[in-house]
A and B are shown apart, each in its own frame.
Chain A
């Protein structure tokens, strides 16, 4: 069994497989060491009720996971999606009511209740959608811990391996890397870029899109935020991660620093508007995260061919969904069954494109992009 991709999704798949005594080999061209020290949100609020249900199922796993594999900075902060206008409030209230009716742990908080729980917020808030399951975790540490635990159950890793190519051989796969050659009967592809590679070399796959967004990390400041608020969160170290929900694309070859200034200005304005107390802080670094995800932005988990699986969590949801995805892949491989509710992520929702028809959405072999799991 080989797992291509050592991000959160790949590491979770490897861990779940190893626990079921299917020792996997994890292969990646890099290693899970994001240059970005940001914590990724375990954001359960976005998406459809079905997505939220899976996210909650995942979030429930984090405490025990942390006990089992060691700390990865997981903290359940609770999350607020703050409304600033009455119109936003109306929409938020409706969303919360809908989710509540579906039995999900999502609630609408009045303005007073919102401010009581999160005194750092602007007084101009009109209330907020609240979910107690939201939290933060360090994606790099999570992937490393999962891989280390998988090794403990007999798995193996081939990281930093330069390049990866894959070919069919005798009913299985031959995976060539910059260092070794691995023969595997079954393969899980857990990285959009590596899927692009596999698609080019093997056949069909789901369409992809890539996106870039600027995230700003401030210096350490005194505790200011308790919750994750519209993508703004405070790392245990005290750093604030300002992660705008809207994708801000500066253009790949911006010839003018104005685009950079504008992107940071939007991030700063959004943050100060919501949490006035951040204004004295300074931005220490603002990485441009490049990530690839399935074309509709939702996770894709399933089987491409009999012995070729994929597990793609999407750019900013790798942390959120990785426990569920790991278990799903392991169950599919070991018992040939998929867990309930996962059919919403099945690849059947795409018109799966044949190889060579631009399936990979322009993803080149260049590994200059940030691993999606280290994204947010």
Chain B
């Protein structure tokens, strides 16, 4: 096990994390950027308009140290446990910026667990990895506005594409048919073969891409003991933080930025990353003219951040999916909610009627949330469903208990750390 120390450690390489890293690097700090996925850019890759922004941010990284494919699975104070190339390292920052983003979480509908049913993020990943060819189609894309760009890209790859959207978004070629509706059910034997829209008409597809709400990823902040509060305006549970994006909690020196802080739009996320980096550098005494720099960063964030389009809703969700879609979410009793453990809604209801009215209680009785993904997929829908079942605001539903490791951790990786430590001692 290597113990690595840096001035600033940034978790997550979306616009916020990239901007924070670039800012800290430019100020001469020793900075390390950790990204779970093999590619940088985070969810800004979903927004074609953000490509220029992302590319600019990547250039600003300069010679900053970047570890890709490196999930963070544990945290204590400002010290992170990471899994890198099947080895365990610990990384400690004098300041740590959590820019963990807000991954898309699909709202369960019958058949959503079939292979071939993807969130937009997952679909873009597949496209970028070259796993999508003309034979992967036909495709049905359910997306609005600028996110419908996926349909255009799939059509360019030679797939027959149908777009499901209330109206034809700008830039979608006329060759792509546009239908109104919402997916009611995905059907298929072993993989998706057709999607039934709410008007009852079936459309054949081998790829069903559903734009899904995004939920701030706050697991690391929670594991670090930071209080997370329910902020409908910020997309759900987010860490409590001050105007410099410093997180309240037992450990000073933790900051949050971007979607994880409920800051929407790639540009605002990037500005929030800059502000968090400035605040971190200020704390470390590495910022020249701190007052002016901080004031400027705050001003730029205020200018970039627009109020969310769908304010004050009692849903957990952040971003592009409009209220009426989330509010219309009415899963059938036989809908699988927890994909890892195959727990259906009727099982949850039965347990809840018997008194299991917290996520932990549902887990104990139904195994919901206990699979590989540890509530990442089913947590938000379950909390939303519980809030409806109990008729309380979602913020009153307790969050599920959280333990490390945040990602499945191979025993072999732990033992490799062992061998190295022993070799070091010898």
Contact = CB atoms under 8 A, between A and B. Distances in A.
A239 B74 CA distance: 21
A140 B364 contact: yes
A37 B365 CA distance: 9
B158 interface: no
Interface centre among A141, A218, A265, A272 (most CB of B within 10 A): A265
Interface in A247-296: 253-261, 264-265, 268-269, 271-272, 278-288
B411 A281 contact: yes
B418 A269 contact: yes
A279 B3 contact: no
A178 to B, nearest CB: 15
B4 to A, nearest CB: 11
Contacts of B74: 257, 260-261
Nearest to A285: B403
Given A237-B367, A260-B404, A283-B405, A268 B411 contact: yes
A37 B90 contact: no
A31 interface: yes
Contacts of B365: 33, 140-141, 144
B415 to A, nearest CB: 6
A219 B361 contact: no
B409 A264 contact: yes
Contacts of B111: none
Nearest to B356: A33
Contact of B79 (A141, A256, A269): A256
B67 to A, nearest CB: 15
A138 B3 CA distance: 38
A285 B417 CA distance: 19
A141 B365 CA distance: 8
A71 B409 CA distance: 32
A236 to B, nearest CB: 11
A288 B3 CA distance: 23
Contacts of B77: 254-257
A219 B67 CA distance: 26
Contacts of A288: 403
B405 A286 contact: yes
Given A33-B361, A35-B363, A260-B81, A282 B404 contact: no
Nearest to A264: B414
A285 B367 contact: no
A269 B412 CA distance: 9
Contacts of B92: 256-257
A181 B110 CA distance: 46
B414 A268 contact: yes
Given A256-B76, A258-B79, A279-B412, A37 B404 contact: no
A269 B415 contact: yes
Interface string B328-370: 0000000000000000000000000001101011011101001
B415 A283 contact: no
Interface centre among B75, B355, B400 (most CB of A within 10 A): B355
Contact of B408 (A35, A140, A256, A284): A284
A37 B75 CA distance: 23
Interface of A, secondary structure class, is mixed
Interface string B77-106: 111110000001010100000000000000
Nearest to B89: A261
A265 B90 CA distance: 13
A257 B75 contact: yes
B410 interface: yes
B274 interface: no
A120 interface: no
Residue of A140, A218, A268, A271 with most partner-chain B CB within 10 A: A268
A280 B86 CA distance: 12
B415 A255 contact: no
Contacts of A255: 76-79, 251
A137 B90 CA distance: 36
Contacts of B410: 280-283
A249 to B, nearest CB: 14
Contact of A284 (B358, B360, B372, B418): B372
Contacts of B299: none
B408 A282 contact: yes
A285 B369 CA distance: 11
Interface in A139-162: 140-141, 144, 159
B374 A284 contact: yes
Contact of A35 (B400, B414, B417): B400
B90 A34 contact: no
The residue in A35, A278, A287 that gathers the most chain B C-beta atoms within 10 A of its C-beta is A35
A285 B374 contact: yes
Contacts of A35: 360, 363-364, 400-401, 403
A258 B88 CA distance: 10
B81 A31 contact: no
Contacts of A219: 372, 408
B1 interface: yes
Contact of A265 (B401, B404, B418): B418
B184 to A, nearest CB: 32
B79 A268 contact: no
A253 B79 CA distance: 12
Contacts of A282: 408-411
B411 A258 contact: no
Interface string A113-135: 00000000000000000000000
Contacts of B361: 31, 33
B405 A37 contact: no
B355 A31 contact: yes
8 contacts: A33-B363, A256-B77, A260-B404, A261-B90, A265-B88, A281-B411, A282-B411, A283-B414
The 9 closest A-B pairs by CB, nearest first: A35-B401, A255-B77, A33-B361, A282-B408, A257-B81, A268-B414, A257-B79, A33-B364, A287-B403
Interface of B: 1, 3, 74-81, 88, 90, 92, 250-251, 355-356, 358, 360-361, 363-365, 367, 370-372, 374, 400-401, 403-405, 408-412, 414-415, 417-418
Given A265-B415, A269-B414, A281-B411, 8 more contacts: A31-B361, A37-B363, A255-B79, A257-B80, A260-B404, A285-B370, A285-B374, A286-B403
Interface of A: 31, 33-35, 37, 140-141, 144, 159, 218-219, 237, 253-261, 264-265, 268-269, 271-272, 278-288
